[in-house]
Structure 1
Amino acid sequence: MTNFFSHLRTAALLTCLLLLTSWAGAQVDSIPAKAGFAGTTANYAISEDSLVAPVEYSSRDSMDVDLVNQRIHLYGDARVNYQEVTLEANHIVLDYGQNIVNAEPWPDSSGTKVGDPRFSDGGQEFTAKGLTYNFKSRKGIVTETVTTQDDVFVRGGKSKFVSGGIETNDSSRSDVIYTEGAIFTSCSLDHPHFGIRTQRAKVVPNKLAIIGPSNLEIMGVPTPFWLPFGFLPLKSGRSSGLLFPSDYQYSPQWGFGFQGVGWFFPLGEHVNLTATSDIYLNGTFTINTATSYRRRYKYSGSANFSYRRLVDETAISEGLQPNVNQGITLGWSHRQDQRAHPTFNFGGSINFQTNLADQRYLNTYEAASTNIIRSAMNITKSFPKLKSTLTAGLNHSQNNQTGAITVSFPDARFQTQTIYPFRKLPGSQRAWYKKLSFRYNSQLKTEFSGQDTTFFTQQTFDEARYGFRHDVTTSLSLNALRYFNVSPNASYSEVYYGKTLEYFLDPSTIVTAPGIDENGNPVVDTTSFASIKSRLNPGLASFRSYSAGVSVSTQLFGTIRMGGRGLFGLKGLRHVIKPSVTVGYSPDYRNATDFISGTPYFIRQTLIDPVRGNPDLFVTPFDNQIFGAPNSSEERFGVSYSIANLFEAKVYNRKDSTDNIIKLFQNIGVSGNYDLTADTLKWSAINVSGSTQFFKGLTQVSLRANFDPYISEFNTRTGAVRRINTTTLSERGVPVQLNTFNGTISTNLTVAKIRELFQGEEEEYVTDVVEERRRRREEENTLFEETDILSLFEKFSIRHTLNYRLDREVSTTPGARDTLRFNTNANSIELRGALQLTENWSVNIGQIGYDFTSKSITYPYLSFARDLHCWEMRFSWAPQRNTYQFSIAVKPGTFDFLEVPINQNRYDGRQQFGY
């Protein structure tokens, strides 16, 4: 009875609605709706088979309600919602009588069909050209469906769609699309450039695609490459999976091989591990692991390890065994976020390799040109209340040319800031004792040294050096006679070593040869006598040193002013002179002895070799140690001086009628000292240095010179050049003579600096030509025309370095004049940069240069790239190594294993050219 009255009320409502439309003069059985109309099917539900929830709908342009056929037509940005299901299209027909919805694009004012249907169900969505869906059965038919997940586009033909067709877990279900003629690709075009075409596929959006027999299709043309079946993950986020080879190649040296095959492992939420290998048929292979980790607001880093086994078969043709080179590379970098901890920090990088593993295998400019590898991994803890910092860690240095390795671990340092102990005492802040300051530093260090081939042996640990040093310095700054700064200072230092050198005569260096004496009797002549050798012996030993002094400094100013706007814009010159004089004292350490171990600071050679030892030469048990040895000079009381000079000019600027200060010469300094306790050679050599720049920093000039007030002569007995107590003024009539002169001129030319030079200031310029073109097109809807040709060369730089030296060569013939020899230590020019020729063409000059000293090209490395939408063509060439790489490949992503590579490694290039 209740259902009867319910149907009766519904029928009465519909009758009233029809009478109302008839009274309004409507002669058709459809009702045009106003734009932006929205509603729900709850007003039309008359069947027992109606849905459990109403269907909400809306449209932008118009809506027609067909009461006879029970259909609602929605036009323009139409939208239908039912529970978690959402459907959007430009035209939607909702058949609320049969619970069916149809969606399709609709022509716009130009006749182009726009607004493809977009279906979403609980976060899973896809697009199609046409869609029919039954809300009751949750099934539908779609045509030309497109599912997108990350960079994968799944384009299907006619497909059957089941909403919630499979159960993914206890609480959720996933949609399923059964499609025919699907293509899987990373190309976003409606007609993709490439893809994997399959006749049958089962697609679970955002999760997985299962395909049957399929083949690779390029530009719509099938290729001979077939797959019997496949599983393609469509899930967002990280997941374990196979890494296809990034390169296939044939090497005459190594045979057939492939590079970059491996596996990706997500280790937890914050760590990724990639393990790959390069394998060749002749036995050459590499194993590589790369780990990256990151915790937001805490730290980030990466670790890399490689083992390389390279087989060089060049010697086989000569009847020799193939040469096998093995080596490892190890890298770790860690960075702590600044917000992680206010007083504690841990970070740095470690780089290590053996047997030139990277230089032998990699062809990059960085790998080939790196001579020194350095590492530094440190923990830093600051103590704000103590005004001090503690740093501890590992430091490493490796020379790739000589194979020498030096590792310092542990290397701990503790140092304080400048502390003023009496500043908080009552009284005036200008009191002299409140300006007294001191600093304390200490360091504990262990150093291991050896060759890379024997570094991890017991010998390296036996020859390790370790020690401890701490020192304290104190100073006081006073003002005297208003214009002079007087600074007394003193320092004290202690050094402790766990090993010292023991000197002895090595009998194994004695060389004898048979001979005949003057009487004709056979004798044995000694052609080489025993030499002094040393060895490290364990045992605690230490030495101490201290010094004191007083320095006085001031400033002098000299100016020249010109009236009006000056001469050619020059309005004035200023010369600033900063002289400083220091009187210092240091004791004699040659006769000192360590009171802890009794070890003397210095030992005369005659005590080791009484017959042939030089009484004027000393050796020290602390030689070649990590903190050095004590000063070998006698008691010294001397005066050192320095004069710093600065030359500036004031120039009138016609552009804005202002005056600019230009530094003509920067930091021209003169320094030397005078020893009051020395019997001879009281004056030291005079050092002169200076630097300046031209063209607003484009060119840097650095000069250093050494002048000596004494004559130098060649000692025929020792074969060395030494100073003698004869002044150049008395011998040659000049106060000093030039010993050495060294100059460096370096120019770094970039587009930004050219702008600054000619425009007078830095201006905004285009840094990304491609982005600029895209923005102009969007704003103006016109083709972009390049208005600034310099923008193309923004990433180019040209560097020129010239280093020359002038040395005095003392004549080995008595009475002959000395000569000055000019040498060019370095003279090279270098070009680097990237050029974006068009939106799709780019050229990169990794490095190309010429060394005028050796008259050779310095490792040229060139490359270019062509953007082919979803593909990319690349070519790189290193002619000095005769290596090249050419590839046409899918852009990095899911399908980047599709690649056509052609390359030549350095081993094949060396064999081809015979070097």
Structure 2
Amino acid sequence: MVAQEDPIIPLPIKAIQDTIRAPILTENPNRPPIPVDTLVQDTTVENSGTLLDKIVYKAKDYVRLSQKENKIYLYDEAEIYYQDVELKAGIIILDYVTNEVYAGRIKDSTGTYTQLPYFKQGEQVVIPDSIRFNFDTEKALIWNSRTEQQAGAGAIGSDAMKVLAEITKKENDSVYFLKNGKITTSKDTLDPDYYIRIRKAKFVPGKKIIAGLSNMYLVDVPTPLALPFAYFPLSQGRTGGLIFPTFTQDPNRGFAVQNGGYYFPISDYVDLSVLGDYFTNGSYGFRTQTTYAKRYKFRGTVNFRYENQIFSQKGFDDYRRTTLYNLQISHSQDTKSNPNSRFSASVNLGSSQYFTNSFNQINVQNTQNNNLSSSVSYSRTFPEYPSVNVSMTATHNQNTRTRQVTLTLPTVQASMERIFPFAKRDGIKKGILQNVNFQYNLRAENRIQTNDSIFPSLQMFDDARVGARHSIPLNTNFKVAKYFSVSVGGNYEDVWSFETFRRGVVEGDETNREVVLDTISGFDRYNRYGLNASIGTTLYGTFNFGDDKKLQAIRHVVRPQIGWGYTPSFEQFYDTYTDNDGDQVLYSPFEGTLNGAPSLNKANSLSFSVQNIIEAKVKDKDSTALEPKKITLLNNLSFSTAYNFEADSLKLAPIGFTGGTRILNEKMNINFSGTLDPYTVDNNGRRVNTFNVANGGSLLRFTRGSLNLSYSLNSDIFNKSKPKDEAEDASDEYRAASGGSTDDLFGFGLDNSRRTSQPDPDDDGEVAPYANKLPWDLNMRFALGYNNSNRQNQVNTASLMFSGNVTLTPKWDVRVSSGYDFVGKGFAQTQLGFTRNLKSFNLRFNWVPFGQNERWDFFIGISSSILSDLKWEQNSQRFIR
């Protein structure tokens, strides 16, 4: 009888119970034995076709061995594991002679393909429709593959690169060849809203994609954006590369290429970005941005900006050339790195007109900044008793309007902890003697006042002022009659100066003689001292109305205080000279020095102050609350004045008052202050020693006042089911993301490098209009100033600032920022803007419709940082008048 099929090759194995695994684990006896080599195996040697490890497999439905076909069939939730290869699919067919495996989908009862293959080798994952893989050569053919590349250390979810291809050939574990592929960062890989189509490409996972002809598709519609070849870096971590520029047009300088440059990842701790601008009229600028950080040690940034601006053309009358620069440094030290030593820096200096005239100033808020300040400080604490803290600080303050610059290079301060000589260090201090304490403070300073025309240069050091001040305060405190707190003390100061000034009259013609000022170099000093004392207490008054009332009680807290201060006259540090009229003029050689001259007038005065706090206890609207609700009706109302016994007139000082409260569920803050003067003024507006009531006026004359109101609310306040603090946090977080202050009252950023918020990875992309809610927030601030010092009865300031945000739909945000000056009768800087979340894209438009900073900014681009250079943006430049 002749068999109807080929004979089965007998396998030289012993009979064992599991006959299925035998072909997988047994080698072919006809193959020569593998020689044993003690040397390291050369991976370039041709593969012998022998499996080097066990293959583990399983399936939910069945596992079938076909000795006729030399294959194993796995069906339904099939899985195979071999070394670092993991394969899952609906159906898997394994050829144990050629060591090849095929995996594919299966159909469910409705005819839909399910259980797509999942292929993982090492860290690389591919999800295709089907795959053919050889365990020996590790080559594969993959149909309709989908893989995700984490391009960058922080790329996750929607910020990762998705690579799709109709046919993929796996050459080895590090090289793939793609045909008819797509590259996108869209969450929906089956139907992406955009992709870059590539015809042929070489794909090195985790490193790069090199493609031929590539062009961009939007919703499966090709766009004119195409390149003959393309390179997509996929390296993990930071890599250097070009920063794509923006093409703009300026009415003063012509066409421009802006914000283009290169990024240098210098090391794991430092990076550098170099950006530049160039205009067709010859203007140019460049910026360097450096970020450095070391965990648990320090972090900081260094930004330098320079611009060479050219207006008009050479030969014209209006031609001019200006240079602007700005330097910003920020350095902070981790407190855990050294608890006894700390270095910090915050520097912002440069040309006074940089923020107002820069052709690349993209943060509108900085145009409203009238002050640049810097501080670089180092401090060290010596913890041994008595502990001493020493600090050295260099400061800079620059008024961009007046162009005045004040520097301290440096300021040295030292302070010793408070010492109680009559008490144990660890014991409780009681009584007058045990509470006696003193300490020592030093402040030495080198102060320079100049203007930005000679800053920085050696010329600015010509008028430097150098001095030091030593102070030793001595105090004690105790109780009197159990309820009165008494404090008694004194202060001694020793002031050093390294130059003084002598005044005199130049000899010569009596009609032409003048007072001259001579600078005397050398060390000189004076001392001053004074005594002080104060007594105060706290009074409480409660008015109960009954627990059944809505207003159950009111509590009034009063803190009165009386103080005394005495300072003698220091005429021993004064001198005289004879003026042209023959009169003796008194002056101090220390006038004009860093710390000034000691007082010539004796002071012996009493000060009075009283602080009031009014609180209420009301019935809570929540019926489940066990305790009544406490609210503050007046969180502060203070009055203060003084009486000088040594003054020859105007002994009573004006009465100053300050106050504040919160209303409308603590959403509106109200703060006010003012001055009440008991004396009248003459026709020239000078205070005279006559009480105002004696001159036919009121008891006190209201001379100055200010009122500030701020109101912040959002739609979540009216949502009773949402916690109050959660609503506030959401609003603040949104405003902080705009690139400005948390309330946007002075404008929001127009930073071209800033993207709107990334899409939510859990967002399904569905956009539905709001049914009964429209999220919004509103911030308002009103300031009022009043002056009546000379009976002018004038409101000198009155302005209203406001900003708001409205989320029209889950994808549309609109915001506005503006204000109005009621005295100047004009609008403050006004901004309008909106953003649109287009799934993988972001669209943004900001507009300053009028004013000195009039401009607009439009941007649409991919939200993912991987392909952020795929964008289109257009903006106008501020017209420099």
Shorter-chain TM-score bucket reads 0.7 to 0.9
The residue number in structure 2 matching 1:356 is 353
Structure 1 residue 708 corresponds to structure 2 residue 691: no
What is the correspondence of 1:55-66 to structure 2 with a 5 Å cutoff?
A: 55-66=55-66
The residue number in structure 1 matching 2:794 is 822
Question: Residue 126 of structure 1 contacts residue 205 of structure 1 at CA under 8 Å; is this kept in 2?
Answer: no
What is the correspondence of 1:100-139 to structure 2 with a 5 Å cutoff?
A: 100-108=100-108, 110-139=110-139
The residue number in structure 1 matching 2:841 is 871
Larger mean CA deviation between 866-875 and 38-47 belongs to: 38-47
Counterparts in 2 of 1:231 and 1:536: CA distance versus 1, 3 Å: farther
TM norm structure 1: 0.80
SS in 1 for 2:572: coil
Structure 1 residue 903 corresponds to structure 2 residue 875: yes
Deviation at 1:395, TM superposition (A): 1.9
The residue number in structure 2 matching 1:282 is 281
Select which of 536, 540, 552 maps to 1:553.
536
The residue number in structure 2 matching 1:762 is 724
Deviation at 1:109, TM superposition (A): 5.0
The residue number in structure 1 matching 2:210 is 210
Deviation at 1:365, TM superposition (A): 2.5
Select which of 789, 792, 806 maps to 2:773.
789
Whole-angstrom CA distance in 1 between matches of 2:83 and 2:161: 28
The residue number in structure 1 matching 2:46 is none
Question: Residue 777 of structure 1 contacts residue 784 of structure 1 at CA under 8 Å; is this kept in 2?
Answer: no
Question: Residue 855 of structure 2 contacts residue 875 of structure 2 at CA under 8 Å; is this kept in 1?
Answer: yes
SS in 2 for 1:906: coil
Whole-angstrom CA distance in 1 between matches of 2:13 and 2:555: 105
SS in 1 for 2:611: strand
Question: Residue 584 of structure 1 contacts residue 639 of structure 1 at CA under 8 Å; is this kept in 2?
Answer: yes
Asked which structure has the greater CA Rg, the reply is 1
Question: Residue 875 of structure 1 contacts residue 884 of structure 1 at CA under 8 Å; is this kept in 2?
Answer: yes
Select which of 800, 805, 808 maps to 2:786.
805
Structure 1 residue 724 corresponds to structure 2 residue 693: no
Counterparts in 2 of 1:45 and 1:435: CA distance versus 1, 3 Å: farther
Question: Residue 607 of structure 2 contacts residue 643 of structure 2 at CA under 8 Å; is this kept in 1?
Answer: yes
Question: Residue 363 of structure 1 contacts residue 878 of structure 1 at CA under 8 Å; is this kept in 2?
Answer: no
Larger mean CA deviation between 192-201 and 337-346 belongs to: 192-201
Deviation at 1:534, TM superposition (A): 4.8
Deviation at 1:399, TM superposition (A): 1.2
Whole-angstrom CA distance in 1 between matches of 2:616 and 2:532: 37
Whole-angstrom CA distance in 1 between matches of 2:626 and 2:137: 83
Displacement over 6 Å in runs of 4+:
43-47, 425-428, 505-508, 758-761, 768-778, 781-785
Deviation at 1:141, TM superposition (A): 1.8
Counterparts in 2 of 1:222 and 1:577: CA distance versus 1, 3 Å: closer
The residue number in structure 2 matching 1:643 is 610
The residue number in structure 1 matching 2:737 is none
SS in 1 for 2:459: helix
Question: Residue 503 of structure 1 contacts residue 608 of structure 1 at CA under 8 Å; is this kept in 2?
Answer: no
What is the correspondence of 1:532-543 to structure 2 with a 5 Å cutoff?
A: 534=517, 538-543=521-526
The residue number in structure 2 matching 1:577 is 558
The residue number in structure 1 matching 2:44 is none
Deviation at 1:44, TM superposition (A): 8.7
Whole-angstrom CA distance in 2 between matches of 1:159 and 1:564: 80
SS in 2 for 1:639: strand
Question: Residue 326 of structure 1 contacts residue 355 of structure 1 at CA under 8 Å; is this kept in 2?
Answer: no
Give the partner amino acid of 2:169.
Answer: K
Counterparts in 2 of 1:754 and 1:192: CA distance versus 1, 3 Å: closer
The residue number in structure 2 matching 1:474 is 474
The residue number in structure 1 matching 2:711 is 748
Question: Residue 603 of structure 2 contacts residue 646 of structure 2 at CA under 8 Å; is this kept in 1?
Answer: yes
The residue number in structure 2 matching 1:320 is 317
SS in 1 for 2:424: coil
The residue number in structure 1 matching 2:185 is 186
Structure 1 residue 302 corresponds to structure 2 residue 301: yes
Whole-angstrom CA distance in 1 between matches of 2:710 and 2:854: 30
SS in 1 for 2:355: helix
Deviation at 1:444, TM superposition (A): 1.8
Deviation at 1:319, TM superposition (A): 3.7
Specify every segment of 5 or more residues in structure 1 that has no aligned partner in the other structure, as ranges.
1-6, 19-30, 32-37, 165-174, 511-524, 594-599, 716-720, 810-818
Whole-angstrom CA distance in 2 between matches of 1:764 and 1:858: 32
The residue number in structure 1 matching 2:749 is none
Question: Residue 39 of structure 1 contacts residue 57 of structure 1 at CA under 8 Å; is this kept in 2?
Answer: no
Deviation at 1:547, TM superposition (A): 0.2
Deviation track 1:180-218 (CA, whole Å, cap 9, x = no partner) reads 333444345335444444433222222233333444444
Deviation track 1:554-599 (CA, whole Å, cap 9, x = no partner) reads 3344444435545xx334444433332223321112x222xxxxxx
Counterparts in 2 of 1:215 and 1:417: CA distance versus 1, 3 Å: same
Give the partner amino acid of 2:53.
Answer: A
Larger mean CA deviation between 258-267 and 226-235 belongs to: 226-235
Question: Residue 87 of structure 1 contacts residue 118 of structure 1 at CA under 8 Å; is this kept in 2?
Answer: yes
What is the correspondence of 1:10-159 to structure 2 with a 5 Å cutoff?
A: 10=12, 13=15, 41-42=24-25, 48=31, 50-108=50-108, 110-149=110-149, 150=151, 151-159=160-168
The residue number in structure 2 matching 1:592 is 572
- What RMSD over aligned residues (CA atoms) do the two structures have, in Å? 3.8
Deviation at 1:450, TM superposition (A): 1.6
Deviation at 1:475, TM superposition (A): 1.1
Structure 1 residue 345 corresponds to structure 2 residue 378: no
Whole-angstrom CA distance in 1 between matches of 2:837 and 2:766: 22
Whole-angstrom CA distance in 2 between matches of 1:427 and 1:142: 80
Size of the aligned set, in residue pairs, is 815
Counterparts in 2 of 1:631 and 1:58: CA distance versus 1, 3 Å: farther
Counterparts in 2 of 1:576 and 1:85: CA distance versus 1, 3 Å: closer
The residue number in structure 2 matching 1:419 is 419
Whole-angstrom CA distance in 2 between matches of 1:531 and 1:363: 54
The residue number in structure 2 matching 1:392 is 392
SS in 1 for 2:606: strand
Whole-angstrom CA distance in 2 between matches of 1:179 and 1:533: 89
Counterparts in 2 of 1:40 and 1:712: CA distance versus 1, 3 Å: farther
Give the partner amino acid of 1:725.
Answer: N
Percent of counterpart pairs with the same letter?
A: 26
Counterparts in 2 of 1:207 and 1:688: CA distance versus 1, 3 Å: closer
Question: Residue 770 of structure 2 contacts residue 809 of structure 2 at CA under 8 Å; is this kept in 1?
Answer: no
The residue number in structure 1 matching 2:810 is 839
Normalized per residue, which structure has more helix?
A: 1
SS in 1 for 2:793: strand
Select which of 644, 660, 669 maps to 2:638.
669
Whole-angstrom CA distance in 1 between matches of 2:426 and 2:253: 81
Deviation at 1:876, TM superposition (A): 1.3
Question: Residue 755 of structure 1 contacts residue 763 of structure 1 at CA under 8 Å; is this kept in 2?
Answer: no
Question: Residue 93 of structure 1 contacts residue 102 of structure 1 at CA under 8 Å; is this kept in 2?
Answer: yes
Question: Residue 767 of structure 2 contacts residue 809 of structure 2 at CA under 8 Å; is this kept in 1?
Answer: no
Whole-angstrom CA distance in 1 between matches of 2:287 and 2:759: 40
Select which of 589, 593, 597 maps to 1:629.
597
Deviation at 1:288, TM superposition (A): 1.0
Whole-angstrom CA distance in 1 between matches of 2:757 and 2:201: 39
The residue number in structure 1 matching 2:40 is none
Deviation at 1:100, TM superposition (A): 0.8
Whole-angstrom CA distance in 1 between matches of 2:281 and 2:127: 51
Whole-angstrom CA distance in 1 between matches of 2:780 and 2:763: 36
The residue number in structure 2 matching 1:293 is 292
The residue number in structure 2 matching 1:445 is 445
SS in 1 for 2:651: coil
SS in 1 for 2:794: strand
Counterparts in 2 of 1:608 and 1:874: CA distance versus 1, 3 Å: farther
SS in 1 for 2:829: coil
